[in-house]
Amino acid sequence: MCEPSPEPLSPRVLTLEETADRLIEAERQLMQQQDSIMTLEAQLGERNRQLNDAQAVIEALQARISVKQEQHELPTEADSNIDTRREGALNAPTDGPLQASLKGTEGMRAADRRTDTAWADIRPVQELQETESAVTCLSFGQERHHRGYVLLATGAKDGSVTVYRCYRTEMELSILKDVPFRTNEAQPVPQEHSNIAIHSRMTGHQRAVTSLFFNLLEDQVVTTSIDKSVRFWNVDTGEMLKVFPDSSPALVAAFLPFNPSVFVAANANAVLRLVNVQNGLVVQKLKVESEVRALKFDDTGLFCLAGTKNGAIHVLETSDSNTLKFKFKYHLSRGAVTWITFVGSNSPDSNPCLLVNSCDSHITIIDCIYGPPQGVLTNLFVRQRVKVAHSLLPLRNCFSVYGGGFLISASEDRDIYICSLAKSANYKMHYLKHHNAPVLAVAVNALDTLIASADSIGNIVLWRRLDFSHTGEGRRDVAGW
């Protein structure tokens, strides 16, 4: 006998309360999933930021290596012939700065009665004046871009910025005949046989330019100004590319060596700002006890040296690719620090050093002490203080490698001060005389063949060492490059 099949169970109808509870639970689970997605997105964004930072560091390292190769700090095979020619002179302090780059005549030799021939051969060969306002900044650039010329960027008290082409002499072209350049254009012919020409002009600053430098690729010039701005310019066209306003006068700036998309700028309110070039965001602000007037990174790229109005040097360390942190302070003088040049070590038994202008009538040569631990800047030690006429103006210095290494400084007494850093030279000071007003800025090119100097009435003078070894074979006028 067959049993009857059971009747199908009818589904139970949920009450309103049960339905509401299930909806609340589903909504809670959905919110948890959304929170998890947002967390993952945040983690992904952080990873992407870290990857971008790492890529920026890699690119900066590659660019720094390339720049160092071009400056003969890491010689390439093609550059070895230059280093061979210069090797003897690098350790010869009696030769004076600059290697010869322009042929002189017997008449030129006879016209100069100075007995110190190592210095008498250094002559002013070009003088120009685009403004009657003081020229405050000088910087050479694009020295391995073009075979025929280098660039000289200048900034002035009236806010004008001018970039010049300084055409190479026949002797310079001979030195560089086997060196590759970034561009392969034919050698330009200077108009009307001039040895210098205007490359571009930058118009925009309303007040004095306080610092000026090329970016890492040297296709842009960066300037700071009393008009409370930091500006980026196209080197070739003079076009103003970016403006970064500040709350007070901008005094000096520099790129972070391991992150070329971030620069540090100092203002008159004693604040250091780290700014992202791409979006203009302020990454970090640091308050200093006194306004910073000089900024320089060491050759490791890890330590920033900031000279202040009250005569101190603050050492800051790059804590990552975007920020700085204070490490220690060294009190140098009672006068304001106006310029710092970093000079790398040329042998295992010598320390890197700083050349520091300060408004106490001295330039101080300071040894940088690294370690322990290795590679960490731990102390500054005064090696020597040399006198220079300097009590008020923002004077600058530079360093010439040739001839054993020379400090070259501007001065308020219209002379260019030059001092050998070789131990056997006893820091004897030599002088180049030509300016009729206080000299504010000096610069030397990477080949050590050309010094530029600028004064408070707008004159810019180019100096070269003349070669008289061929005076018996023929004569050339100074302008006949």
**Residue 96 in domain:** no
Task: Evaluate the omega torsion of the peptide bond into residue 11 and state whether it is cis, within 30 degrees of 0.
Answer: no
**Residue 238 in domain:** yes
Residue closest to 57 by CA, chosen among 255, 218, 316: 255
Q: Identity (one letter) of the amino acid at 423? A: K
Cα–Cα distances in Å, from 207 out to 136, 156, 267, 337?
Answer: 12, 9, 15, 22
Q: Which residue has the tokens 């990174």?
A: 297
The Cβ-side half-sphere exposure at 115, using a 13 Å CA radius, reads 0
Residue closest to 156 by CA, chosen among 216, 204, 228: 204
- φ/ψ of residue 133, rounded to 5: -85, 155
**Residue 84 in domain:** yes
Burial class (CB in 10 A: 0-12, 13-18, 19+), 389: middle
**Residue 202 in domain:** yes
In this predicted structure, what is the pLDDT of residue 318?
92
**Residue 470 in domain:** no
Quickly list H helices, 75-165.
80-90, 106-111, 117-120
**Residue 1 in domain:** no
Q: For position 250, which CATH number holds?
A: 2.130.10.10
DSSP string covering 166-196, please? EEPPHHHHHHTTT---S--PPPPPPGGG-SE
**Residue 313 in domain:** yes
What is the extent of the structural domain holding 370?
Answer: 77-89+131-413
Q: Are 264 and 254 in contact (CB under 8 A)?
A: yes
Q: Calculate the CA 367 to chain-centre distance.
A: 20
**Residue 71 in domain:** no
State the total domains in the chain.
Answer: 1
* Ordered per-residue pLDDT tens for the chain, 481 residues: 555 555 555 566 667 777 778 888 888 888 888 888 888 887 787 667 656 656 655 665 565 555 555 544 433 333 443 343 344 444 444 467 899 999 887 666 666 655 455 578 899 999 999 889 999 999 999 999 999 999 999 999 999 999 999 999 999 999 998 888 877 555 555 544 468 999 999 999 999 999 999 999 999 999 999 999 999 999 999 999 999 999 999 999 999 998 989 999 999 999 999 999 999 999 999 999 999 999 999 999 999 999 999 999 999 999 887 899 999 999 999 999 999 999 999 887 889 999 999 999 999 999 999 999 989 999 999 999 999 999 999 999 999 998 889 999 999 999 999 999 988 889 999 999 999 999 999 999 999 999 999 999 999 999 999 988 876 543 333 333 3
DSSP at 313: E
Bridge-based pairing state of the strands 460-467 and 102-103: parallel
Structure tokens at 72: 């003969």
Q: In whole angstroms, how large is the CA radius of gyration of the chain?
A: 30
In this predicted structure, what is the pLDDT of residue 335?
95
Alpha-carbon distance of 121 to 418, in angstroms, equals: 14
- φ/ψ of residue 85, rounded to 5: -65, -30
The structure's pTM equals 0.80
